[in-house]
Structure 1
Amino acid sequence: MVRQLVILLALLLATGVAARGQTVVNTESGPVQSVTSSAECEVFRGIPYAAPPVGELRWRAPQPATPWDTVRLCSDWGPMCYPMMWARRGNFYAMEYRDTTAHVRVSEDCLYLNIWIPKGERQRLPVMVWIHGGAFWSGRASAREFWGDSLVAHGVILVTVGYRLATAGFMAHPDLAREAGTPGSGNYGLMDQIAALRWVRRNIAAFGGDSTNVTLFGESAGAGSVQALVSSPLCKGLIDKAIMQSGGGYRNIIFPVGRRWSQNFGKSLMKYARCPSIDSLRRVPIMTLNSLVLKLSRRHLKIPFVWPTIDGQVITESFGEATRRKHVLPIPYMIGYNRNDLVKPVMRRAARKWALMENAAGNPTWVYCFDRGLPGDKMKKPGNSGARHTAEIRYVFGTLASSWRPWRKGDWQLSQLMIRYWTNFAKTGNPNGEGLPQWRPYTHDDKCEKHFDITEK
């Protein structure tokens, strides 16, 4: 009762601030206050949706966030998780997504989400939840290319989710399974995403969102996360629609590894770190462990496989098997790839084959190909032109202005077109809408694949 009175007083004191265009919302953990993002949009940055997964909580399922009583001003982004590695200077992705904010904090304390809402009256707006990519080893939810102002302008609420990465997010070991009383271990990053979806279901109505109309979408490893979650028994009732951009589909390049493989790798890491127990391994700085994983991987595997695993709890089977057995959620889907994507033939075949299977199962599924070769690459480094992996992201979010590229009028028009398709899908489960060229599901009888490009080069 005392805590409720304190919260009520805090909300009353914040009324003057809210009147100036900022909003105070009471979540299950405590009141939060937005900051202005644009003329028509507000943002809540860095809302904790779970307790910091540090110390004894490292490599455990996410726990509830610690409640607070005073209004939490959400003006700062939450920290990103320690990455496996930073992109090397001069690397395409380092250049493409170089930091555009003043300061990026890095920490194991990384379970925060961000919410963009329109200013003014809001009632039961569709909710889009974004899972960033980065090979499960890097990336952050607050990156400028994911800001939600343009999407929100089309009548949705956007949530972007931070989660555990690399060794912090996907370390597997038989002792961890025994400790948790589960069949396997690992997948803590996916557990974080599930915790965020549950948080959205419980809290988003207070922000003006419709908790029964949630679209999960992601790109690359984010799409891999989406495909893992829509086939997970833990996600029933949490996702109403899903979009996979360059990373989902039948027999795609993103797949969970077997339990024995992942746990044997964890045992090798423990031995390599000279730690006799999980408790002692928990005391090793996560960046040290990431470095050891890289060294161990290069010595034996050439790639660092702390990665989603078939643990028998979060992931119980391969995505292909889940598709064949009709274990994926019976919801509408969009899936696509880029013209110059990673392993393009596999991406294209995976998207098309999966769409055929899902439409045959009664789940309406649309396929796209992003064809626009990004302008300006040759100004930086010869040979980089093309519709590369991740090239579609700024078009989907309407964040072209955050890039150095010399956009043309057609790029801005293409971005608006894609935003309309994406937000229509979030609203109704169908990307089509008034004034848009018709986009049909990809079926055996009608192999319709939407191609996104500009007409004037």
Structure 2
Amino acid sequence: MHPVTTRQPRHKPATALDPTVVSTQYGLLEGIHTANDKTKDIIEYRGIPYAKPPTGALRWQPPQDPEPWNGVCKADHYRFMPMQDLGPDIEPWGSDFYYGTVPQMSEDCLYLNITTTQSALVGTDKRPVYVWFHGGNLDRAYAYEQETNAAAFAANGIVAVSVEQRLGAFGYLALKQLTDEQGHSGNYGLMDQIKAMQWIADNIAAFGGDPSNITIGGQSGGTSKCVAMAVSPKLPVPIRGMILESGLKWTDTYLLQSAAEQRGAAYLRDLGLAPDIPLNRLRSMDAERLMDTGSAHWPGYMTQDGTYLIHESAASAIRAGAFDAINILTGTNYGEGDDHGIVTAGDFHAYYRRLLGDLYDQYAFEDLVTVTDRTAAYTARELETYGLGTNGGRNLMVARVFGRMMNRRTDGEQATYAYLFSHITPQNIDDIGTGRSRAANWAWHSSELWYAFDSLDTGVPPARQWTGYDRILARQVNSYWSNFIRTGDPNGQSDGSPLPAWPKADDTLGYINLGDGIQGHIKGSSLLEQLLYEYATRAFGLD
């Protein structure tokens, strides 16, 4: 776990400036050297304020510009994580990402972190920028978790930024009182993200970054954050690429303002508060009093507020052209599908008969996919990962057919690259019989982050017994991601050697399997492949 302190930033006179001192719109920042054996040149700037603390009268308000400062602010420590209910007892994430203690939380969380290199600071050629938004739905986690290793991107010639934003009740509560005050409500976390993007566009050149070459990325809930920003008319910063891990989120929908307000009112009732309570009373309460993550009305959803989000869904915004100029790298992990409670072979075939309708008999499904009681649940989960199920957010075929749709829509100008991450992380002997053991047969949700960030050896103690192949794969996956950030195309080299070719998801429905070996694939001729294609096209409106 990264060391976290809560001390205030130290300022010193701007007389004897360190070579890491940069000038932002709000004052001078001094970074810290965090070089290691692999990365000799790394400079980090931790805990940079991009907005005023959203506390007191600024609770549930759009983010405001930060206060300028005099002298040099030493950006040497991470700040608070957003308000949330995050404990170390959730597996496998607890032991992998959150072992020990987690950072102190606070509403005062609107900070970002920048990782660059000394050579980028002094060079004249500006480098591509990668802006990372963490997962955890819209209500948990934080930007500098140990599995994220921005130094790996910086060592590959990229300026990497991670952003905190308000979450849960503080980031997405909608109420009639707030709408009456502001004209809309909810989406405060989304407003924070957009505010951070503006800060980055205005200041990143000082850190060696190119504000005209920005890629945004996230995983799971972070993917939803990125998609919402990309479809928002309020995002003033052009983005050239998106990396969307654990799902394309084509199927994300946004609550109507009125429905979000009703949900907010119900949440206040769950807290034992009157739904029409005055805002000044709500804003004066302790933050903990306003948190009930067990509530059925927990405000963790974005809102079609008519200002920051004007479309009812990501799909409708994309059909209107929101992604036409954005290259996309997206995929899912082997096993992120759902088994839908299937236990027996009878359950399996009953479920797929309902799901497929006329396609069930058309493709003679019972002969095409044979299962036993022992294999039924496993096979269902596997099929949904590949594309046969209700989860359109984590679905390989959806990503492949989406790429074909976008390629045709833009006459080949937009490129989508789809992946399946199928490598199963090694386990420790102590995992047997635990929640971590139950993930043993799958590339579990979030496990690709160790590889995307090439962070296998950054945790203390190491989370798993990494092998030589794990380290090779991590370097290759991080190189694919870095190549994409630089050029919009993941193909290229890793440590001077060519990477296996990654085909586009165009009319060939190309994708790459990142597993025990790396292999590119295009559309196959099997009946199952055709069924996956036809079902995904029909079920998710990808034509």
TM value normalised by structure 2 = 0.75
1:376 aligned to 2:427?
A: yes
How far does the alpha carbon of each residue in 1:21-54 deviate from its partner, in whole angstroms, 9 at most, with x for none?
xx00111111010011113201000000010000
Q: Does structure 1 retain, via aligned residues, the 8 Å contact 2:87–2:102?
A: no
Q: Partners of 1:90 and 1:236 in 2: how far apart? A: 37
Q: Which residue of 2 aligns with 1:256?
A: 254
TM-fit CA distance, 1:270: 3.1
* Equivalent AA in structure 2 for residue 439 of structure 1: W
Q: Partners of 2:421 and 2:450 in 1: how far apart? A: 12
Alignment of 1:231-242 (within 5 A): 231-242=231-242
1:172 aligned to 2:174?
A: yes
The partner residue of 1:128 within 113, 127, 130 is 130
Alignment of 1:89-108 (within 5 A): 89=89, 91-99=91-99, 104-108=103-107
Q: Which residue of 2 aligns with 1:118?
A: 117
Q: Which residue of 1 aligns with 2:455?
A: 399
Q: Which residue of 2 aligns with 1:153?
A: 155
Q: Does structure 2 retain, via aligned residues, the 8 Å contact 1:232–1:328?
A: no
Q: Which residue of 2 aligns with 1:315?
A: 309
The 1:369/1:118 distance shift into structure 2, 3 A limit, reads same
* Equivalent AA in structure 2 for residue 388 of structure 1: W
Q: Partners of 1:372 and 1:307 in 2: how far apart? A: 31
The 1:205/1:270 distance shift into structure 2, 3 A limit, reads same
TM-fit CA distance, 1:87: 3.5
The sequence identity of aligned pairs, in percent, is 30
The 1:377/1:336 distance shift into structure 2, 3 A limit, reads farther
TM-fit CA distance, 1:58: 0.6
TM-fit CA distance, 1:75: 0.9
Q: Does structure 2 retain, via aligned residues, the 8 Å contact 1:395–1:418?
A: yes
The partner residue of 1:36 within 29, 33, 43 is 33
Cα RMSD over matched residues? 2.0
Q: Partners of 2:72 and 2:99 in 1: how far apart? A: 29
How far does the alpha carbon of each residue in 1:135-181 deviate from its partner, in whole angstroms, 9 at most, with x for none?
11111112122231111111101000000011010001122122113
Q: Does structure 2 retain, via aligned residues, the 8 Å contact 1:262–1:306?
A: no
How far does the alpha carbon of each residue in 1:386-443 deviate from its partner, in whole angstroms, 9 at most, with x for none?
2011011111111111242011111111111111111111111111114122212101
SS at match of 1:373: coil
The 1:99/1:160 distance shift into structure 2, 3 A limit, reads farther
TM-fit CA distance, 1:377: 5.9
Alignment of 1:10-409 (within 5 A): 10-14=13-17, 17-18=18-19, 23-38=20-35, 39-83=40-84, 85-87=85-87, 89=89, 91-99=91-99, 104-120=103-119, 121-122=122-123, 123-181=125-183, 184-251=184-251, 254-272=252-270, 273-275=272-274, 276-291=277-292, 294-295=294-295, 297=296, 304-317=298-311, 318-328=313-323, 330-343=325-338, 344=385, 345=387, 346=391, 347-348=394-395, 349-362=397-410, 363-376=414-427, 379-380=430-431, 381=434, 382-385=437-440, 386-401=442-457, 402=459, 403-409=462-468
Q: Partners of 1:265 and 1:86 in 2: how far apart? A: 23
* Equivalent AA in structure 2 for residue 145 of structure 1: E
* Equivalent AA in structure 2 for residue 352 of structure 1: R
SS at match of 2:335: coil
SS at match of 2:242: strand
Comparing 266-275 and 168-177, the one that deviates more: 266-275
How far does the alpha carbon of each residue in 1:203-261 deviate from its partner, in whole angstroms, 9 at most, with x for none?
0001111010000000000001111111111125332211100132322xx54333222
Q: Partners of 1:132 and 1:426 in 2: how far apart? A: 17
Q: Partners of 1:359 and 1:377 in 2: how far apart? A: 44
Unmatched segments (≥5 aa) in structure 2: 1-11, 339-384, 519-543
Q: Does structure 1 retain, via aligned residues, the 8 Å contact 2:336–2:444?
A: yes
TM-fit CA distance, 1:354: 2.5
Q: Does structure 1 retain, via aligned residues, the 8 Å contact 2:52–2:64?
A: yes
TM-fit CA distance, 1:90: 5.4
Q: Partners of 2:428 and 2:337 in 1: how far apart? A: 17
How far does the alpha carbon of each residue in 1:325-372 deviate from its partner, in whole angstroms, 9 at most, with x for none?
223352111111101115434211432332222222222111011011
SS at match of 2:34: strand
The 1:132/1:342 distance shift into structure 2, 3 A limit, reads farther
Q: Partners of 1:94 and 1:309 in 2: how far apart? A: 30
TM-fit CA distance, 1:374: 1.1
SS at match of 2:443: coil
TM-fit CA distance, 1:103: 6.7
The partner residue of 2:500 within 424, 437, 441 is 437
Q: Does structure 1 retain, via aligned residues, the 8 Å contact 2:88–2:94?
A: yes
Q: Partners of 1:178 and 1:329 in 2: how far apart? A: 35
* Equivalent AA in structure 1 for residue 22 of structure 2: V
Q: Partners of 1:119 and 1:33 in 2: how far apart? A: 12
TM-fit CA distance, 1:308: 1.2
The 1:150/1:438 distance shift into structure 2, 3 A limit, reads same
Q: Which residue of 2 aligns with 1:6?
A: none
The 1:329/1:59 distance shift into structure 2, 3 A limit, reads farther
The 1:284/1:149 distance shift into structure 2, 3 A limit, reads same
Q: Partners of 2:492 and 2:323 in 1: how far apart? A: 27
The 1:90/1:438 distance shift into structure 2, 3 A limit, reads closer
Q: Does structure 2 retain, via aligned residues, the 8 Å contact 1:198–1:238?
A: no
Q: Which residue of 2 aligns with 1:3?
A: none
Q: Does structure 2 retain, via aligned residues, the 8 Å contact 1:44–1:115?
A: yes
Q: Does structure 2 retain, via aligned residues, the 8 Å contact 1:246–1:338?
A: yes
Q: Partners of 1:90 and 1:447 in 2: how far apart? A: 36
Q: Which residue of 2 aligns with 1:414?
A: 473
Structure whose CA Rg is larger: 2
